[in-house]
Structure formats: C-alpha cells, structure tokens
Structure 1
Amino acid sequence: MNSNIIGFHHFAIKAQDFEKTVQFYRTLNFEVVHGWSLPEFNLEKCVMMKNKGFDCYIEICDNNANFPTQGRKRKKGDSYVENSLLHICFTVGDANKAYNEAIENGAKPLSAKETLELRSLKKIVTVSNSLVYSPNGEVIEFLESVVF
C-alpha cells in the first residue's frame, strides 16, 4: 500500500466548449479558484474549480490542450469516444432532483433514478442513482448517500 497517498484531489477533462463546460459545473456548485495558460502545452485556458460544499476539484482545459491523455482526441462529429474514464460520481441527497437540475442546465438524460442491489457473498448494498451526459459528454453519476 502506498502511504504517500492522503486523499483524492481532482479529475481533469478537456472541454469541447470551454465556457459552456465551466458554466455547467458552476450549476453543480463548483467555483473557479484558479485559472492559467501554458503556451508550451498549447493550453490557452485552464481552470481549477472547487466544490463549495466539499473538498473536490475539477480541472477543465480547453480543447486544444496538448496534454498526455488516454485514447485519441475526439474528432468533430464524434458522438462518443470510449476511454478509461467510465464516469464521474457525486454523492447527492436526491438522485431525481440532481438528475432534473442537471438536465435543466444542459445535460442530456442517460438513466433516471433507479435502485440497484449490489450483491456479494457477504452482504448486499442497495444504491439509488441517476446518470446524465454533461454538455461536454462525460458521464456523471448522482449517487444517493450510501455506505459500502
């Protein structure tokens, strides 16, 4: 086990439409805490956004950023390019409310609230969640509070 790891800091996304993506995450209670550019990486705009309610960050980079990434760059007209990131998950009080608010703010529906039983040999964990595609295309899961 790596004892140097003390917590989760952020995930980074490359925005197809930078301003629209930043605005969408603002509706999910994130605020810009820092912005920068790195010409040596062809990065014109990048921001770090922090959630106002808990200690989680999102790094949003413009579409021209030349950063190491998994998979190939999405080409114009591609609806989806699969890669290793499956989804981004936020704990919420009400999965229906989070789903509806995200759609009102530009997300596309993926899966309305459902309740699932995650079974193992030792226990069953019941989860309730909903999923949307953000305006930028990443899958966002809204998971009602649960203990694993």
Structure 2
Amino acid sequence: MEDNIIGFHHFSIKAQRFQQTVDFYGTLGFKEVHSWSLPEFHLEQCTMLYHPRLNTYIEICDKKAHFPTQGRRRKEGEDFVENAIMHLCFVVKDAQRAYETALGNGAKPLSERTSLQLNSPVKSVSVANSLVYSPNGEVIEFLEAVEF
C-alpha cells in the first residue's frame, strides 16, 4: 500500500453548529471551495474548505449527516458509531486496491470502491472512493485524486 498512497486529502467534521464551524475554520485561513448535499445520507449541508498555504482540505457536514464516524468500537450488530470526527481521507491512485490492501493488513470492510456524483449549483464533481475501519477502529477513506 505504501506506493499507492499519494497524499493526504482531508479530515471530516460533523458540526453541531454548521455555519459557526465553517466560519471558525475561515478565521484559520480555510476558504470554501465546494458545497453539496446528499439527501440519501440525511446530509443537508456539507462544504469542502481548502487552505492554500497548507494545501489541505477540511470537510464540514451538518449534524444530521448519517455516515460511519470515528469513535468507540462498534458493538456486535451495530452498523456504525457516530462521533464528531467522521473519517481520515487519503488520496490514492486506486481506491479498490487501497481497500483490498487495507483489508489484507487487518482493516475491516466498510465500503468497496464506489462512484458518487456531488452536485451543486456551481459545479458537479464525480468522486470514486472506498472506506474501511482501521484495526484501531477509525474510519479511513481512500479517495481517487479529484479537484473540488
């Protein structure tokens, strides 16, 4: 997997107060570059912020977002656990290869490579990703390189 990871893309936050959280990260130099919603995941608001000097992103989602997240270990039979930090994301060349390699190194499956269309009034973005639970329990996303 070492040669497949080509960069760190973003971390994701479930915000109790969406706009206040976006505004806070704005004071740290992050600028909004894309926003969207995914009703099928109860996601009303999500925005990608970018810090040009740091060359990194923060994804901020509203508190109703229904995604697997970082937190305590899942109990038997639970789909996933929710918490404030939703996942770590690594930019990869091949999301399926990263998924399979991670499983081979002790990760638990969450989502094989999937393609999604993130639509907004300004710009539509196609993404391809996969997700795993690390052996420690955090959610890791493998995102094929994309511009927001």
Higher relative contact order (CA 8 A, sep 6+): 2
Q: Name the one with the larger strand percent.
A: 2
Q: Which has the larger radius of gyration?
A: 1
